[in-house]
Structure 1
């Protein structure tokens, strides 16, 4: 692929993922700079000619969420004002996806506000990974491709060649996606029933549906922040007679004592993607990272050549 056919630019949140995507596509990383002034204001500048070019911008919105989200908007605006033919935004982790509904009085639907802002800034298309709520695609007026990390995570699990495998969903809400993991790995499914009573990012496991005794269990989820739920589910699985426990999560959004909880839990290995690469905590040796760069690179290639992305969802 010639370097004059497209431009891939990375924001501050995903420099390593951007570099790997560009290496796969055989294009240089697009030039640009981001400055933060002493008062907290951000300054974004595109460092090369993008007039008439199709630009692909890589930027997760986490650590710090608000700064990286504003940076994303400024990048889009700068690229459009530099006369880019199109701007496709790749958001490996869309943090405000958790605010997808009005589930109590007088609250903002944060994901919708963010979606409208991205569109208003000038984005022509959005590509993301395992949105917390797939219906968020409907908040946008531009095309949205919500890619799946399932293939890369299941390949990593399969490489361990575990027998008597059981896939565990940490709650009923993720059961449908967990069933896809189970089908791909040829394993039965179990579901943990948990309840969340406040905004403390903690939940309590109250029951387990399914047979796990004597089996190697793998908990699957879209993201983890504090490791609270995963650790509690893992302990519950061991109490129910599981032989071992592992976990596979798309977004490793680790904060606070997450790594201490992981190390103290029954989890023997935690697989995450590289959608979040600037976590403020030092990762435990139990964390194993699998790259989604090939997935995003293939999405860019197909979008750029006007090919279908359907194969990426199989």
Structure 2
């Protein structure tokens, strides 16, 4: 983390862009606090209430007129409640005359609904993008969208961060010998290739098939050599851990040594911790983009922080500087 990042960003004096204010929704309190600490500013005061019938109420407890506002709110479980809360925050800041409102969405759950690949279905990511714009957001800051083209669903600027530098740095320090990077399917192949480039190694691909939404993935084959190698499986997110587990099993069956895995977003549905604990995965590394967990993580799981990346991006957006250096792998 660049020491120059810690600054008096909260000071109104001599700031041509307006005072920087960071707010947190219910979903991202821990990550937001870390981001504030990196920037050297305290989270601004706000409150959220959920009434007995499920109605969500938000209130800004500080003056934001003329301020540059960032609202940090992920959309993990409960997804719809958290998404609606995000919209209400954006609307509240806009009506309170904030100069600029940036929606910081560490995990955008509906990114999975990026296409019409079945008859008579909604493109859910596009609907969410329209709603965020309609609520009044000026820009969006997010991390590891399931499909990068979702940025095109928005008519406002989208800054799309990647957890890759943080994850790669962690595994570089472990100095694992004879390591290959593995993509569980061709859809993540391009990103897996970038991981492999950064780690100066080769990449292999899984041939995965899933016959329905609620059916676990079946690993048909692996393209590439894993025999006698340590394997690092990379993916953008996991819900049940099923794809990672099946890929790990396939690698072990083909003579792999130790199998590691890393994901940007560890969603983890109920029962996933037990399955991961029984799997061949030696260590599963994930980031802190998601705060809510259905259950404690499996012993092999390790959480590392991406607060530094978000803090640098927020500082750059506030100062009207380029964010592209954060994409330079």
TM-score under structure 2 normalisation?
Answer: 0.94
- For 1:145, what is the secondary structure of its paired residue? strand
Task: Please tell me the root mean square deviation across aligned C-alpha atoms, in Å.
Answer: 0.7
Indicate the residue corresponding to 1:12 in structure 2: 26
- For structure 2, the residue ranges without an aligned partner over 5 or more in a row are 1-7, 12-18
1:309 aligns with 2:323: yes
What is the CA deviation profile of residues 77-120 of structure 1, one whole-angstrom value per residue up to 9, with x for unaligned ones? 01111111110111000000000000011000000000000000
Per-residue deviation, 1:260: 0.9
Query: What does residue range 1-314 of structure 1 map to in structure 2 within 5 Å?
Result: 1-4=8-11, 5-200=19-214, 202-314=216-328
Within 1, Cα distance between the matches of 2:291 and 2:50?
20
- Count of residues in correspondence between the two structures: 314
- For 1:69, what is the secondary structure of its paired residue? helix
Per-residue deviation, 1:2: 3.6
| Contact 2:9 2:39 (C-alpha < 8 Å) held by counterparts | no
Per-residue deviation, 1:159: 1.5
Per-residue deviation, 1:132: 0.2
- Segments ≥4 residues shifted beyond 2 Å: none
Per-residue deviation, 1:251: 0.2
Within 2, Cα distance between the matches of 1:2 and 1:70?
29
Within 2, Cα distance between the matches of 1:15 and 1:2?
20
Within 2, Cα distance between the matches of 1:123 and 1:154?
32
Within 1, Cα distance between the matches of 2:72 and 2:164?
20
Within 2, Cα distance between the matches of 1:89 and 1:267?
35
Indicate the residue corresponding to 2:14 in structure 1: none
What is the CA deviation profile of residues 199-242 of structure 1, one whole-angstrom value per residue up to 9, with x for unaligned ones? 10521110100001111100000000001110111010000100
- For structure 1, the residue ranges without an aligned partner over 5 or more in a row are none
Within 2, Cα distance between the matches of 1:137 and 1:225?
22
Within 1, Cα distance between the matches of 2:155 and 2:149?
13
TM-score under structure 1 normalisation?
Answer: 0.99
| Contact 2:58 2:85 (C-alpha < 8 Å) held by counterparts | yes
- For 1:14, what is the secondary structure of its paired residue? helix
| Contact 1:201 1:226 (C-alpha < 8 Å) held by counterparts | no
- For 2:174, what is the secondary structure of its paired residue? coil
